[in-house]
Amino acid sequence: MSKATVSNKAIIGNNTKIWDYAHICDGVVIGENCIIGQRVYIDSKVRIGSNCKIQNNSSIYRGTVIEDSVFIGPHVICTNDKVPRAVTLEDKLKSTTDWVLGKIVIKKGASLGAGTIVLPNVTIGSYAMIGAGSVVTKNIPDYMLAYGNPAKIIGKVNKEGRSI
């Protein structure tokens, strides 16, 4: 018996495994052959391709698109609000209509190391490699190695993720 919470309005592809205490919200689409680790939170309307691996305790918020064959390390956070506030100017609790949704796109084959934070309005290119603990504030092109806070391009990697 699974202890995950999966919305009946989510679409989960064949052979995708969802571990205990994960939370998959309404409108999420996850492709085939994925692994969603323990305590992963996937917000509504997130799109995840096939053959992806999302490690334990990651949070993927609305506005994120993850293409095929992407690796998301443990404790990764994909954010969606550049100006977060709990309340409006009238001191009322904000709703989803009170903020501007930022978008994140993680292209095919990219890898995000443990503890990476991705800010909104960023694209991480195909087969790019983001080092552990990085804060990604700008687009990272295909096949680039980037790390740090803020993440800076340090070099290139091949399709296997090895420096070239």
Residue-wise pLDDT for 33-89, tens only, equals 999 999 999 999 999 999 999 999 999 999 999 999 999 999 999 999 988 999 999
Mean pLDDT of the chain: 96
Rounded Cα–Cα distance for residues 129 and 89 (Å):
40
% of the chain surpassing 90 pLDDT: 93
1-164 falls under which CATH superfamily? Hexapeptide repeat proteins (2.160.10.10)
pTM: predicted TM-score of the whole model, two decimal places: 0.96
95: pLDDT strictly greater than 90: no
Tell me, what's the pLDDT at 106? 99
The predicted structure's pLDDT at residue 57: 98
Per-residue pLDDT band for 1 (boundaries 50, 70, 90) equals low
Question: Residue 141: its pLDDT value, please?
Answer: 98
Q: Where do the domains of the chain lie?
A: 1-164
Q: Quick one: tokens of 63?
A: 């506005």
Position 107 scores a pLDDT of: 98
Residue 123 clears pLDDT 70, i.e. is over it? yes
Mean pLDDT of 100-122: 97
Euclidean distance between CA atoms 46 and 11, whole angstroms: 11
Q: Residues near 142 by Cβ (< 8 Å), separated by ≥ 6?
A: 107, 125, 126, 127, 128
* Dihedral angle of Cα 71, 69, 47, 111, to the nearest 10 degrees: 30
CB-based contacts of 160-164 (< 8 A; 24+ apart in sequence): 161/111, 161/127, 161/129
Give 134-152 pLDDT, tens digit per residue: 999 999 999 999 999 999 9
- Buried/exposed 109-132: b ≥16 CB within 10 Å, e otherwise: bbbbbbbbbbbbbbbbbbbbbbbe
